[in-house]
Chain A
Amino acid sequence: NAGVTQTPKFQVLKTGQSMTLQCAQDMNHNSMYWYRQDPGMGLRLIYYSASEGTTDKGEVPNGYNVSRLNKREFSLRLESAAPSQTSVYFCATKPDRGGYGYTFGSGTRLTVV
């Protein structure tokens, strides 16, 4: 099935450790996004990429870095994890034209202890 694939699904990190969340889409879209979801706060945009080779900060970028490896892949890196980064992370993509509806991945549940 066409869509967005995220790995890993679950991860536990110790404070200060680093990790990279992977995202790949096979929908041939230019735009890709990273969101975090916390209880009662909806989804907040961390970073986005309008096209291969470009990335921009969203609402909550501090503590994160991203790489748009190619058109399909967009990774999110936590260089030094903090407990405040405990969250569920979603990658998403949307069509370049014809609407603004997102397709989301199934998420990565990250716990930082």
Chain B
Amino acid sequence: QQQVKQSPQSLIVQKGGISIINCAYENTAFDYFPWYQQFPGKGPALLIAIRPDVSEKKEGRFTISFNKSAKQFSLHIMDSQPGDSATYFCAPSYDKVIFGPGTSLSVIP
């Protein structure tokens, strides 16, 4: 059974702080490592993704760090804002996609 684990399960960060969410996987066949963002009442939306040939990708305030040997990748949100409050899912993929259980982020003023 393929497993994808996320930590923490929930996270509270003050406005302006750094939010860090981790994803650990088992299957070395994964070749695409995305993070999805989901607001209440909405479907998940692709936020940022990385391929295994790079160790880091940055898009604005969002950064993915990828550690192939540890089979982990993480999402860093710099200067976190209340509008970032959402649930975040990692979803490593090859021809199949395995979603993590999600991390609920609350950014407080």
Contacts and interface: CB of A to CB of B under 8 A. Distances in A.
Interface in B1-17: 4
Q: How large is the interface on B (under 10, 10 to 19, 20 to 34, 35 or more residues)?
A: 10 to 19
The interface centre, meaning the residue of A4, A40, A43, A44 with most chain B CB atoms within 10 A of its CB, is: A43
Q: How large is the interface on A (under 10, 10 to 19, 20 to 34, 35 or more residues)?
A: 10 to 19
B101 A106 contact: no
A101 B44 contact: no
Nearest to B33: A100
Interface string A71-113: 0000000000000000000101000000111111111000000
A106 B99 contact: no
A20 B34 CA distance: 31
B97 A42 contact: no
A92 B91 CA distance: 14
A107 B87 CA distance: 15
24 contacts: A4-B43, A40-B101, A42-B4, A42-B99, A42-B100, A44-B99, A92-B43, A99-B49, A100-B32, A100-B49, A100-B97, A101-B34, A101-B46, A101-B49, A102-B36, A102-B44, A102-B91, A102-B97, A103-B45, A104-B43, A104-B44, A104-B45, A105-B43, A106-B41
